Amino acid sequence: MTSKASQQHGIDFENTIHLALHGTPKKEYEKLIEGGYTAEFDIVKGIKNINFNGSVKVTSSNNVGCGSIERMYKHTSGDEAVSFTMIIGYHEQVGNDKVYNTIYEVDIKPEHHNLLWSDIQLNTLTEYVNYVKSIPRGREAQLQNQKLWKEKRQTIYENEGQGIMKIDTKIDGKAQRRTQASFNIKTLEAIGIPFRKYTQEYRGIDLPHIQKNSSLRERNKK
């Protein structure tokens, strides 16, 4: 699992976005939405006069993590499909500070499903997620499955295709057994999903935006 320190800069950035969008701090806003801090979206359409669902992410590379792969899949398919906007803060580490030079808005819609997932089926993902969860705790089980989980992922890609969403598996030497979705911003730009790129100002936030005294991510040892 990532440590609390490794998540704080993302929490701080999300708070900045909340203040820019509707003037209410993140913690106070979460009291207004169903599910609170575990809600499916960080920003909920209809709350505080916001007219879109939003998910706030940060990255220091071209790779953007999207959380639970099953939840992400359901957002673009079937009865749970819904349009939403990803707000992505791209930062660099400068000394003890994180400097956000670019903020993206990406519009994800149900009609983008095949671009995102190709022909991968939900039951295929669920079976894979359950396999990952079933791997016993500890370093020995991690090593025993190190090759197998990659083979299983590759089989999915070969049999059902691969869209921009990647199957991102987190298995460490302790108890972490997660499967998330992720994508590459550069791939997104090339494939035709609508996005907006802000480099000077974003909804009243001057860019670059600097998070002072935000050191490199610290993680628990694996």
Bridge partners of residue 102, in order along the sequence: 90
| 207, amino acid identity | L
Q: In this predicted structure, what is the pLDDT of residue 219? A: 46
- E runs forming strands in the chain: 54-59, 63-68, 84-94, 97-108, 166-171, 177-184, 195-198, 201-202, 205-206, 209-211
In angstroms, the CA 59 to CA 125 distance is: 25
Q: What is the pLDDT, as a whole number, of residue 190?
A: 84
Contact 109, 83 (CB under 8 A): yes
Q: Which pLDDT score is estimated for 216?
A: 60
CB atoms within 10 A of CB 77: 16
> Over its length of 222 residues, how does the chain's per-residue pLDDT go in tens digits?
334 455 788 999 999 999 999 999 999 999 999 999 899 999 999 999 999 999 999 999 999 999 999 999 999 998 889 999 999 999 999 999 999 999 999 999 999 999 999 999 999 999 999 999 999 999 999 999 999 999 999 999 999 999 999 999 999 999 999 999 999 998 887 888 999 999 999 999 999 999 998 766 554 444
Asked if residue 208 has a cis previous peptide bond (ω within 30° of 0), the answer is yes
| pLDDT recorded at residue 2 | 38
- Answer yes or no: pTM beyond 0.85: yes
At residue 60, the 3 state secondary structure works out as: coil
- Cα torsion 55, 61, 108, 166 to 10°: value is -110
